């Protein structure tokens, strides 16, 4: 949802803030991998201190923001690049949440461990519902809590000290998104399977 709201405004903003990335060709896949490595470091930090985990996650997130813009600017977009970006995003999501789960486990907070586990399962289901639907429906989107919202709220909560309520929001929002995607997939696939209307099939009336 956030991604759709921001839309194409991201590209010119990124070009203004990071002009050095556009002066000469840069492999966008390299940016993706570097960003992933930074985010994986944030997952380790989350296991010890969520505040610093969030700081490092935001730094890694900048690479995730610019890699696609760089690819579009230099005309180096590729199917492999899109696959790599999406796959590593899932890896980061799981690693960050596992790091947070370990933090609460070490702190002896079983209730919060279960809450993070809920977020983890719901996040997997949100991503899986999209991946499976796109085998049948092109550009399947929808739901109130996509990846940008999930990671953004977790990072914000850790930075400003309201992580617990943010986790509840992410857990409930992600669950609602799974339900929304079930409905969207059902309608989209039924529309694809509906028999086409034949021209000239007008209802006949008898004249007496």
Spell out a b/e string for 166-204, using b for 16 or more CB atoms within 10 Å of the CB, else e: bbebbbebbbebbebbeebbeebeeeeeeeeeeeeeeee
CB-count exposure of residue 159 (10 Å: 0-12, 13-18, 19+): middle
The residue behind tokens 């570097």 is 34
- Token pair for 97: 């949440």
**Which residue among 67, 89, 93, 201 is the active-site one?**
89
89 is catalytic: yes
Nearest one of 97, 69, 96 to 85, comparing CA atoms:
69
C-alpha 163/C-alpha 131 separation (Å) is: 29
Question: Which residue numbers are catalytic?
Answer: 89
């Amino acid at each position: 949802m956030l991604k759709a709201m921001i839309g194409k405004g991201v590209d010119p903003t990124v070009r203004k803030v990071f002009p050095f990335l556009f002066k000469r060709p840069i492999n966008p896949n390299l940016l993706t991998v570097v960003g992933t490595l930074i985010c994986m470091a944030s997952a380790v930090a989350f296991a010890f201190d969520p505040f610093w985990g969030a700081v490092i996650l935001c730094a890694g997130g900048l690479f995730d923001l610019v890699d696609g813009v760089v690819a579009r600017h230099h005309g180096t977009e590729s199917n492999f690049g899109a696959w790599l970006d999406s796959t590593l995003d899932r890896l980061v999501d799981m690693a960050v949440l596992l790091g947070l789960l370990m933090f609460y486990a070490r702190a002896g907070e079983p209730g919060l461990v279960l809450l993070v586990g809920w977020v983890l399962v719901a996040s997997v289901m949100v991503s899986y519902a999209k991946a499976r639907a796109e085998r049948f429906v092109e550009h399947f989107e929808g739901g109130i809590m996509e990846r940008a919202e999930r990671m953004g709220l977790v990072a914000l909560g850790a930075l400003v000290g309201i992580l617990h309520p943010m986790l509840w929001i992410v857990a409930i929002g992600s669950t609602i998104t799974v339900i929304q995607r079930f409905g969207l997939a059902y309608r989209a696939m039924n529309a694809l399977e509906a028999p086409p209307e034949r021209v000239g099939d007008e209802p006949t009336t008898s004249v007496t």
